[in-house]
Amino acid sequence: MSVPATDGGVPRDDTGHPVPVPDRVRRVVSIVPSLTETVAATAPGLLAGATDWCTHPADLDVPRVRGTKNPDVDRIVALRPDVVVGNTEENRPADVDALRAAGVPVWMTRIRTVEEALASLRRMLAEACRVPVPAWLDDAGRAWAAAAPPGPARAAVVPIWRRPWMVVGRDTFTGDVLARLGVANVYADHPERYPKIPIGELNASGADLVVLPDEPYRFTADDGPEAFPGLDCVLVDGRHLTWYGPSLVDAPRVLAERLGR
């Protein structure tokens, strides 16, 4: 990830858009759960709003602004944030444009790898939220630097939805997380990032592992593994597999244990 740091003294987000945040930020609205946890773990007093899906930390008590795909723009504007933090994959351009048109600075992250996550969160906290880089972010960097994949890679499919079946494809944070733990995504070279693949094709893909997270679709022991007879199915915490934030500290260890790596 390489973007200009400033535009006439105004910091730029991961997309290169200048974001006129004040020198001191007092109110932040987050429209992505992992970014909510990131801000809450670093400077909890800054959070002035979050989505209905923001579940971490468990005791988070801030006004809610609906979801990542349908944020209540009027509600967000009424909360008077110094900055809104979002993500290019999670949030719709139309909502971001509407917030900016209303005069709200919006800082957009773009994250497709662990390395990008660490760099993006560092910039977001320091430049958009105006807070010191937290110790947990350095801990996360060390944890991933030490996460060398053991032995030959396993070939996996990673469903994220069923009815219809959808899987992780190319250029995704999830795929990079797994690759660093010695798990190769069978659909890493697919033209789409989250392709719809028929279940028969998934079973005939050559994978020897199926990784089933509990979000966005909540796969469970009774809902998911039965569709892959003869394949090793592993249920994992979606927060460790797909979130970029404080969960990055424990993710290498937790996922490696679940995946048998």
Residue ranges covered by each domain of the chain:
6-133, 154-259
Given this structure, which CATH class describes domain 6-133? alpha beta
pLDDT for the residue numbered 243: 95
- Separation CA 116–CA 194 (nearest Å): 19
154-259 shares the fold of 6-133: yes
Instruction: Give the contacts of 64 (CB within 8 A, at least 6 positions apart).
Output: 49, 50, 51, 52, 54
pLDDT for the residue numbered 2: 53
**Of 244, 174, 213, whose CA–CA distance to 32 is shortest?**
244
- Separation CA 136–CA 58 (nearest Å): 18
For 2, the 3-state DSSP assignment is coil
pLDDT for the residue numbered 4: 52
CATH architecture type of domain 154-259: 3-Layer(aba) Sandwich (3.40)
- Separation CA 219–CA 233 (nearest Å): 11
pLDDT for the residue numbered 1: 53
The segments of the chain whose pLDDT lies below 70 read 1-8, 150
